[in-house]
Structures are given as structure tokens and as C-alpha cells.
Amino acid sequence: MADIPEDAPEHCPGTQSEQAGKSASCQGCPNQKLCASGAASAPDPAIAEIGAKLSTVQHKILVLSGKGGVGKSTFSAHLAHALASDSTKEVALLDVDICGPSIPRIMGLEGEQYVDDNLAVMSIGFLLSSPDDAVIWRGPKKNGMIKQFLRDVDWGELDFLIVDTPPGTSDEHLSVVQYLSSTHVDGAVIITTPQEVSLQDVRKEIRFCRKVKLPIIGVVENMSGFVCPKCKNTSQIFPPTSGGAEQMCADLNLPLLGKVPLDPRIARSCDEGRSFLAEVPDSPAAQAYQRIVQSIRDFCSNSMMEERSTT
């Protein structure tokens, strides 16, 4: 994979490309002169350091979304809870949403970094004096914070590291992919809702993954209908006018991991810092989560076997 400089535009060709600093997408990029001169091609030594630090982490999963408000952090938290429900597994959740760190609240953490003995969390939210403090940083400082999280945190031996990212395809995403380039990443789970306005941004996220050669584990459609707790009928609150995630996945040859219906208890459990899966395990949404998580487990197992067969 070509190294990608900090503050790179969406269609950055990468510093190893012959078009580095010369393509149309390079216009206006603060790194344009550096890339064109070839000086940017020297690898960041932190990449190798991070590779060594994370060599004891078996599986690394990124959770992405093109658009905000689709339930990405909620999914990340419940994925962590579900994986850690196996007491033999060590799980960590890294929140790299620097400007909107919601994971500490969702996980019910106030100054603590452990949910359970086998589930740890790291977030810039732990470094703020108040949950209401705003992080007003430019790209390089955010990138530096992500580097610190990956390189300086003592992750120890983990079965799963889940990385919750902010919406979009900008600094944080480029930094995470670049810094993890010397270690095996299983892939990305992409979160969307059924409406076309969300799917449009998710297609950009998919193109980003393919551009930087990040494997896509699959797509999850959140808020996919509402199951009435009394009559059990399903209503489409957000109608999939263009076929929803199912049609998009068929068009782009991607796995649809599952659809999670709306359930007001999910929002309440997040506000109260509790696991919805543990609170209401028999609900349609919890069952959908469990099927999705099993698909992710299966993908990671196959990914590990493929990596071993090529080394």
C-alpha cells in the first residue's frame, strides 16, 4: 500500500506514486510540494513501532461510516460487548473520534478504562477535564494523538482490537490506515442506515477502503425498520428508497452482515452506559447483533488462516 501523507485529499495518489504531488487531486493539498519533491517518501518510524506494539493483537477491526448519526459508535460498543461476552477473549475498544468521543458515555465509563476484566477502552474523552470540553484541533494534532494511542498505550495481548472512527474519509482515517500499514488488519465494518442520503456517503467510504486496500468485512444496516413490541409487525421508519444496504451490497459485490431494527431501548442503554445485548438479549435487535457478530468472528478466523498460509 502506498504511504498516504497527513492532511491528504480524498483521492490522494500516495507518496510512492509517480503522480505524487502532480495529480489534479493534489491541488491545494498542504503536502503537495513535499510529495512532488520526493521528500515525503521516507516512512514514519512510528509505523514500524506500532507494528511491533500491536504484534500481540490477533484481530484488528475498524468500524467506519460515511455519515454521522447512523449508529457507528453504538455498533462499536456492542461489538466490543459481544466479543467480550466470551470470558476467554481479551478485547479492547479504541475511540479515535477525537472531536466527538462518545464511547466513554456509551460504555458507562467515568475516568475508568476497564468495563470488565477482559474489556478495556481508550478514548481522548478520558483526557478531558469535562465531558463538555471541545477538542479544537487541526489535522496534524489529531494525527499525533492517534499515533500516541496506537504506539504508546500498553495494549498487551489481545484477541480483538476494535477501532471506532469518526464519520467521513479524512485525517483520522488516513492516519489509522497509515499507522497500521505494518500490521495485519482484518478489515472494516461499514455502518449505514437505509436512506439514500446515508448510502451515498457510504459508497464514498467503500471507495476509500478500496483505494487504501483496506479489506471490507461487510456492511451493517442500522435502524432497519421498527418491530412493534406488541404486535411484532415491522414498520419502515426510514424507507429504503433506492433498495437500502441490501441493494447497494449487491451492486458493489459486498457482504451484507445484517440489519438491526430500531429499538428505543438501544438509545436508553447507551445513555445509561449499559450493554443492550445483556439487558434485552431476546429482542429482535439483540438477535440481529449476535448474528452479525458471529459473521465477523467467522471472517476474522478465516482472515487469520489466510495470513498464516501466506507467511
Instruction: Give DSSP secondary structure letters for 99-129.
Output: S---HHHHTT-SS--EEETTEEEEEGGGGSS
Regarding predicted confidence, which is higher, 161 or 304? 161
Q: 88: which 3 cell numbers?
A: 476467554
SS3 46: helix
What span, in angstroms and rounded, lies between the C-alpha atoms of 25 and 6? 14
Per-residue pLDDT at 198 exceeds 50: yes
pLDDT in tens, 125-184: 998 888 889 999 988 899 999 999 999 999 999 999 999 999 988 889 999 999 999 999
Q: Spell out where the chain has E strands.
A: 57-64, 91-95, 114-116, 119-123, 158-164, 187-192, 216-227, 234-235, 256-262
Question: Could you tell me which CATH class the domain 45-310 is placed in?
Answer: alpha beta
- Please determine, for residue 120, whether its predicted confidence score (pLDDT) is greater than 90: yes
Q: Give Cβ neighbours of residue 233 (< 8 Å, ≥ 6 apart).
A: 227
C-alpha cell at position 264: 428505543
pLDDT bucket at 94, cuts 50 / 70 / 90: very high
Residue 222's φ and ψ, nearest 5 degrees, are -85, 160
Q: What percent of the chain has pLDDT over 90?
A: 67
User: What pLDDT is stored for residue 43 in this prediction?
Assistant: 75
User: What pLDDT sits at residue 90?
Assistant: 97
| pLDDT at residue 23, rounded to an integer | 74
Query: What are 44-87's pLDDT values in tens digits?
Result: 899 999 999 999 999 999 999 989 999 999 999 999 999 999 99
Among 3-12, 73-82, 118-127, 253-262, the least confident range: 3-12
pTM confidence score: 0.85
Determine contact, residues 52/180, Cβ cutoff 8 Å: no
Q: Give 17's pLDDT tier (boundaries 50, 70, 90).
A: low
**Is the pLDDT at 3 greater than 70, yes or no?**
no
pLDDT band at 22 (very low <50, low <70, confident <90, very high): confident
Question: For 202-225, what is each residue's pLDDT tens digit?
Answer: 999 999 999 999 999 999 999 998
Q: Which three cell numbers stand for residue 150?
A: 496506537
pLDDT at 138: 86
What's residue 16's pLDDT? 56
Q: Could you tell me what percent of the chain has a pLDDT over 70?
A: 89
Residue 111: pLDDT above 70? no
pLDDT at 144: 93
The predicted pLDDT at position 39 comes to 46
From 24, 166, 12, select the one nearest 99 (Cα to Cα): 166
Indicate the pLDDT class of residue 297, thresholds 50, 70 and 90. very high
Dihedral over Cα of 283, 287, 289, 293: its sign: positive
Confidence class for position 113, pLDDT limits 50, 70, 90: confident
Mean pLDDT over 6-16 rounds to 58
Q: pLDDT at residue 34 above 70? A: no
Mean pLDDT, the chain, as a whole number? 88
